[in-house]
Chains A and B, each alone.
Chain A
C-alpha cells in the first residue's frame, strides 16, 4: 500500500510532522493499526537502523527517525490491542546504582523501541532489587544495564547474582554496556552479552531473545 511506503519513507527522513499526518490518514482509511505499525513505522525504522549499522547515516538521523516513529505511534497506541502491541519482547533497562549518567541508556531504549521491543526504562541510580523485581513482574526476557564509572560497575554483578539467587537467570538474560565496561568484564561477572554501543546493544538483545 502506497501510504505505508510513504510513512516508512518520511520516517527515514525524520519528518515527524509528515509521519503523524500520514499515520492519521492511514487510520482514516481504516487500515489496521498493527499493519501501519509493522509495514510503515517499524519498516522505516528497520531501514534507518540498518543504515546506521553500515555507517551510512548519523546518530542524529536515527534519533530524528525515532521521534517521527513516536509521533506515529502516539496515534496508533489507542488502536493497538495488547496482542499486536510492540511484541518482540520486553526489555528492562537502567543505569546501575550510584550512577547518574543516562544518555547512552536512553539511546539504547530508543533504538530498542525502534526495533519493536517494549522497553521499561527504570532511569538512573537503579538498585539491583528494582531491576530484578521489575523484570520478574513484567515478564521481561532481558535486563540491560549501563554504567559509566568503574565504581558503579560492580552493581551489574549484583543484579546478575540476584537473578541467580532467585532462580531467574535462565529466563531473564542480561546485557551490559557503558564506557568503562569491557567484554572481559562482562564475561567475568557472568553477563549474557556485552553491547559496545547503542546499536550493538540492540543486536545483542535480538540475539538473546532469539
Chain B
C-alpha cells in the first residue's frame, strides 16, 4: 500500500530545550532570558511555516533488497543487511517539514539575524526528526492493530547515508517511492530538497532484530552513535510493557 498524508504540525514541534541541545547547548546552566525569547520566537516561526507531510509505500523483502543494493556502493556488511530479511513488514518512507522553513532560515541569515536563523534551523532539523518519530509511531500502531504483531513488535527507521547504507542508495529509493509527489526532490549529489527532509525504510518486526553491534568498520567515524540510544529506548519500552 502506498499513501501520502499530512502530519499534524503539533506532532513535529520540538521543545525549546531540544532546539538548544541541537544547537550544541552543552552547559549545565539554564539559558538566559534573551536565549529563552529567541527559542520562543524560533518555535513561533516554526509553527507558522512548517508544512509536514509524508509518503510511505510497503515493499517486499526481495524488492527492498534491490533498492538497498542501489548502485552497489554500500559497505560489504551493514546492520540493515542483517535486519531487513527478518522484518515482518518493510515500508519505504519520505517526510519533510517543507520548503518554506528553509527559505525563512536563509532570509534570517541574509537579514543579519543569525541567532534566530540558526535557532529556526535547529528547530526545523528537530522537527524533521519528529516527523520520523511520528512515522515510527504510526507503523508501530498499525503493526499492533494487526493480530500477527506480537507485544514486542517494534518499528524503526533506517536511512541511506547511515550505518553502511551509502547515500547513493537514495536514487533507487526515490525511484521506487516517488516522493516528488509530496515535493521532495533529489539532486545529482543525492541531496534532498527541501533540505529538511528524511527518507529511508521503516522496518517493523520483533524488537530483537533491531539489536545491533556497534563495531562495524564504519562505526568509529560515526558522530551520532544514535543506534545506542535507539536500542536503549527499545529496551526501556519493552520493560514497561505489561
Contact = CB atoms under 8 A, between A and B. Distances in A.
Interface of A: 13-14, 55-61, 63-64, 66-67, 70, 98-103, 106-107, 110, 149-152, 179, 182, 184, 197
Nearest to A107: B118
B115 A60 contact: yes
Contacts of B117: 103, 106
20 contacts: A58-B24, A59-B118, A60-B20, A60-B39, A60-B119, A61-B31, A63-B114, A64-B34, A64-B115, A67-B112, A98-B187, A98-B189, A101-B195, A102-B109, A106-B109, A107-B114, A107-B118, A110-B114, A149-B189, A150-B167
B32 A106 contact: no
Nearest to B38: A60
A103 B32 contact: no
A29 to B, nearest CB: 26
Contacts of A64: 34-35, 38, 115
In terms of DSSP, what is the predominant structure of the interface of chain B?
loop
A99 B191 CA distance: 7
A100 B193 contact: yes
B195 A100 contact: yes
Interface string B22-56: 01111100011011001100000000000000000
B23 A58 contact: yes
B42 to A, nearest CB: 9
Contacts of A103: 105, 109, 117-118, 121
B35 A149 contact: no
B113 to A, nearest CB: 6
A151 B25 contact: no
Contacts of B109: 102-103, 106
B187 A100 contact: yes
B190 interface: yes
Nearest to B27: A55
Nearest to A62: B115
Can you list the 5 inter-chain pairs with the closest CB atoms, starting with the nearest? A98-B189, A63-B115, A151-B189, A59-B23, A63-B114
A113 to B, nearest CB: 10
B97 to A, nearest CB: 15
A70 B189 contact: no
Given A56-B27, A150-B161, A66 B114 contact: yes
Contacts of B191: 98-101, 149, 151-152
B114 to A, nearest CB: 5
A179 B118 CA distance: 16
Nearest to B35: A60
Interface string B113-131: 1110111010000000000
A145 to B, nearest CB: 15
Given A59-B24, A64-B34, A101-B195, A14 B189 contact: no
Given A56-B27, A99-B189, A149-B190, A61 B195 contact: no
Given A55-B26, A100-B193, A151 B167 contact: yes
Contacts of A151: 167-168, 189-191
A138 B190 CA distance: 33
